[in-house]
Amino acid sequence: MANRPSAAARRTRARSDDLQVVYEDDAMLVLNKRARLLSVPLERRRGAGSMYDQIETYFRSRGKRLPYVVHRIDRDTSGLVVFAKTGWAQQRLKEQFRRREPERVYWAVVYGHPRPATGTWRDLLVWDGVALIQKEARAGDRRAVEAICEYRVIETFRGASLLEIRLRTGRRNQIRIQAELRGHALVGERRYRSASEPRREIPFERQALHASRLSLRHPVDARRLEFEAPLPADLISLLERLRHQR
């Protein structure tokens, strides 16, 4: 991943007044990203707003340098994202992610009721660079990468469940594809879902996925930091609606 998005991709001006800062110091910045907002600008989606654009405006208004990207979450996923303020801090933080040291916890609403109620999902995935989606890897595919996460059913509803999911690997779209492979696509999912699987449709405008907790070591002094982002209003509303339909 590049240290910073290219200038061509960063053409959209953005307001920083709705930036939800969870933590900030001289080395790093932790934000609560709202859904339907890119983490960083993409060349193929020029003109689409991103959290990076908001940070750029926020930093420049305070006379600071542009941020460095550490990791990202999907456009329609809400929750915690980390940026670095120096190249050195970025390197230290990204090394933690490469070693799978940070604890990353998501909440997801999926169709159906996963059995057993707790478990581990392990898959071999391959990224389709043309379709821009993850796929289950075929036997012997040398491009295959391992995807691992642990899940726990928190609450069940009529035709759906609320899960807590801990990532052990951080593959692109990982939770979305692993849930779909087991017949439990995320509510609101548009890309990773089987058209042949009958289900009672639950209206929701995005995939019901939220990066709720993150724990990592500070890049300067290595102290353990823990962050939490409360569920956004749309997911709270979805859960209330499902509870009333039992």
- Identify the helix (H) or strand (E) that includes residue 160: strand 160-167
CB 174 within 8 A of CB 149: yes
Of the residues 53, 74, 76, 234, only one is catalytic, namely 74
- Quote the Cα angle for 237-243-246, to 5°: 145
Tell me if residue 74 is catalytic: yes
The alpha carbon torsion through 183, 184, 188, 193 (nearest 10 deg) reads: -20
The alpha carbon torsion through 232, 172, 43, 51 (nearest 10 deg) reads: 30
Q: Which alpha helices (H) appear in 20-128, and where do they start and end?
A: 51-60, 87-98
Q: Give Cβ neighbours of residue 48 (< 8 Å, ≥ 6 apart).
A: 12, 38, 41, 42, 75
CB 74 within 8 A of CB 56: no
Single out the residue of 166, 160, 167 nearest to residue 235, CA to CA.
Answer: 160
Positions marked active-site: 74
